[in-house]
Chain A
């Protein structure tokens, strides 16, 4: 069990809902992963269209919490308005705040992010900011009212895994009491297990599951990896050593010479 902003969640894996081969596979992947939170978005609806209605009905049937995002927003104004529209549609004040600053890397515009976070926190939102691993930006986001941080470990959808493990360790060390969720860049279950072993509270991913050859199997694998990483962190891991240490007792060893 995992307490996130006063909500008890059964899983430390948050899962995106985009890019799956079909709605049925999305639903099966969500169930297989064990996730308790799925991310969703808002897009223009066609006149007379019902695409949004069908998707919304599917999401509600999953029984998970919903974390809407502001994906695709490049300005503070766009992000703030999208967040307000999401709150009205999805009925939650949780918002994954994205303010994108670079088209190629989808790197967050951290200056706009802090400004938008302040506006939304003052308006009663629980802001989940998609940010970098920069400690000063993290401080500013906390000052703006954020109670959780979501640093990337690599560019969105890249599957690169942990590009800068030192920065992630440093972030965990600097903010021991702030829920930290690694968001973006995870490609393999081993990446997820590693960030959980570092002591991160949860991971959020999408592409690595949705674009796998078998999304349902991969969702299950990520769910297990997150659990394994967390249990390893909680159980106290050995520090690496430069020299060998025999694991079999040497006392009583036979001498044949």
Chain B
């Protein structure tokens, strides 16, 4: 499946958002995820089926003003 993850084109075998995070070695409760510009809650990642062309954002805390 072809996905855009944090602005980068990737081809992965993962079918759910939780699988994608595991495959890409993202872990931790400080991450927030969105698919196609909508938040996907942490609790819903395992059941969230990805589709070809989905745009995924994986964000974490950073310095801010």
Listed in ascending order, the chain A residues whose CB lies under 8 Å from chain B are 16-20, 26, 39-45, 47-53, 55-56, 59, 68-69, 71, 77-78, 81-82, 84-86, 88-90, 156-157, 206-207
Of the listed residues B7, B25, B63, B65, the one surrounded by the most CB atoms of chain A closer than 10 A to its CB is: B65
Contact present for A89 and B26 (CB under 8 Å): no
Contact present for A156 and B30 (CB under 8 Å): no
Q: Which of A17, A86, A90 contacts B63 (CB 8 A)?
A: A17
- What are the residues of chain A within 8 A of B61 when measuring CB–CB? 40-42, 52, 55-56, 59, 89-90
As a 0/1 sequence over residues 41 to 64 of chain B, the CB contacts with chain A under 8 angstroms (1 = contact) are 110000000000000011111111
Size of the B side of the interface (Cβ < 8 Å), in residues, is: 26
Q: Which of B5, B25, B34, B64 contacts A85 (CB 8 A)?
A: B34
Closest CB-CB distance, A16 to chain B, in whole Å? Answer: 3
- What are the residues of chain B within 8 A of A42 when measuring CB–CB? 32, 59-62, 64
8 pairs, A vs B, C-beta closer than 8 Å: A44-B7, A45-B26, A52-B28, A52-B31, A53-B30, A69-B65, A90-B61, A207-B65
Contact present for A40 and B37 (CB under 8 Å): no
**Which residue of B has the minimal Cβ distance to A207?**
B65
Of the listed residues A39, A45, A71, A157, the one surrounded by the most CB atoms of chain B closer than 10 A to its CB is: A45
Contact present for A88 and B39 (CB under 8 Å): yes
Q: Chain A binding site: helix, strand, loop or mixed by DSSP?
A: mixed
Of the listed residues B37, B42, B63, the one surrounded by the most CB atoms of chain A closer than 10 A to its CB is: B63
Closest CB-CB distance, B56 to chain A, in whole Å? Answer: 10
How many angstroms from the CA of A43 to the CA of B32 in the assembled complex?
A: 10
Contact present for A85 and B59 (CB under 8 Å): yes
